[in-house]
Structure 1
Amino acid sequence: MLSTPLGEGAELTTMEPWQAAELAAFTDRHRAHLEPWLPWTYVVHDEASARRFLQKYADSQARDAGRIFAIRLDGELVGNMIYRLFDTEQGSCELGAWLAPEAQGRGLVTRAAGRMIDWAVDVRGLSRVEWLVNPANKASIAVARRLGMTHEGTMRSLFEMAGERHDMELWALLDHEWRETRGR
């Protein structure tokens, strides 16, 4: 399996449709923690729905339009990272992440996002990386800040989830800003 070490027994690995049972079990264990932030938790309920979710990203990867990865700690799935959008023509992508509560506070998302930004900017030549976050999700906003992103604004009432409208903050980082951030 392809993987990138994140240190301290953690790694960023591929996540594919054949791993649907693992994602379904992860989602079931952490649903209450994930549901306030992630619309996909309302559609992933079993192995079949997890397979459809992962297949969507496999199809996106085949089109060079998005990807999903696993964050593993000592081999166990503890979270995921995504290029929710990946647009080489426009030179931009959007990152997303989720993590099990017991894996928080170790810098895993920050390190994984950093590896993904490195690849998007240095290998693929993208100019812009975005991070969308619910304004109440302080942990995710802290990741954006640690990555050196700038809060560009808040999109009000952007989408409906669980019968409520939700705002989203847009944080972004430009390629030259990332290079400066890494240089420090």
Structure 2
Amino acid sequence: MFLHRIDESISLKVLQPQDAPELFQLTDASRAHLKEWLPWLDATSTEKDTEGFILSALKGFAENKSLTTGILYQGKLAGTAGFNSINWANKTAYIGYWLGTGFQGKGIMTKTASALTEYAFSDLHLNKVEIRAAEDNAKSRAVPERLGYTQEGKLRQAEWLYDHYVDHIVYGMLAEEWRKK
């Protein structure tokens, strides 16, 4: 099992099926907040849906195609983060993340994204990490900006959110840039 301690308060762990009730409860309690930016909320209406997500994430991890972790903050599940996909041919990973409503504003996601970036370069020996966020999602965009990622461009109408498209801003960090920090 993957477990990575970031600091005294924050750890990342690969989610297991037994985490489904807690993750579903966090998702459900944060539904109104998350639905503004994440397209999968309507498809997550039961613990069974969350368990299916976890099983899919475990399959991606076993196949070395992705890494989805639960973010533990002071021992409580606070959200998820990881590599939505890993492109081994191009040595690139794509970070995705979300936090439950009560866990925002504590620096959790910036530390988490920093740790994932470091892991991508130091342990996986990748060359590039990307983070994409909806153009108007200021909180999500602040994470790569705080970490010194380069804004590389905009993908127009990149994602369908329930009743409208949103543009995504693409941020990238190269291994050589990260090492210079």
TM-score, with normalisation over the residues of structure 2? 0.94
Output the CA distance in 2 between the equivalents of 1:116 and 1:165. Answer: 28
Output the CA distance in 1 between the equivalents of 2:82 and 2:43. Answer: 17
Q: CA RMSD for the aligned pairs?
A: 1.4
Length, aligned pairs only = 181
Aligned identity (percent) is: 29
Output the CA distance in 1 between the equivalents of 2:4 and 2:123. Answer: 15
Q: Which runs of 5+ in 2 are unaligned?
A: none
Q: Give the secondary structure class of the aligned counterpart of 2:80.
A: strand
Q: Which runs of 5+ in 1 are unaligned?
A: none
Shift of 1:78: 1.0
Q: Trace 1:86-125 onto structure 2 (pairs within 5 A).
A: 86-125=86-125
Output the CA distance in 2 between the equivalents of 1:145 and 1:3. Answer: 26
Shift of 1:8: 4.5
Shift of 1:152: 0.7
Shift of 1:42: 2.2
Q: Which residue is equivalent to 2:57?
A: 57
Output the CA distance in 1 between the equivalents of 2:174 and 2:67. Answer: 20
Q: Which residue is equivalent to 2:159?
A: 159
Contact 1:17 1:58 in 2 (8 A): no
Shift of 1:9: 2.3
Contact 1:21 1:46 in 2 (8 A): no
Output the CA distance in 2 between the equivalents of 1:39 and 1:178. Answer: 31
Q: Give the secondary structure class of the aligned counterpart of 2:125.
A: coil
Runs of 4+ in 1 over 6 A off after TM superposition: none
Structure 1 counterpart of 2:7, one-letter code: G
Contact 2:135 2:166 in 1 (8 A): no
Structure 1 counterpart of 2:91, one-letter code: G
Contact 1:70 1:79 in 2 (8 A): yes
Deviations 1:148-168 (A, max 9, x none): 111111111112121211111
Output the CA distance in 2 between the equivalents of 1:29 and 1:73. Answer: 17
Deviations 1:79-103 (A, max 9, x none): 1102111112210010011112321
Q: Which residue is equivalent to 2:85?
A: 85
Matched, 1:25 2:25: yes
Contact 1:96 1:131 in 2 (8 A): yes
Output the CA distance in 1 between the equivalents of 2:32 and 2:79. Answer: 14
Matched, 1:172 2:172: yes
Contact 1:148 1:177 in 2 (8 A): no
Output the CA distance in 2 between the equivalents of 1:10 and 1:125. Answer: 23
Structure 2 counterpart of 1:5, one-letter code: R
Contact 2:37 2:161 in 1 (8 A): no
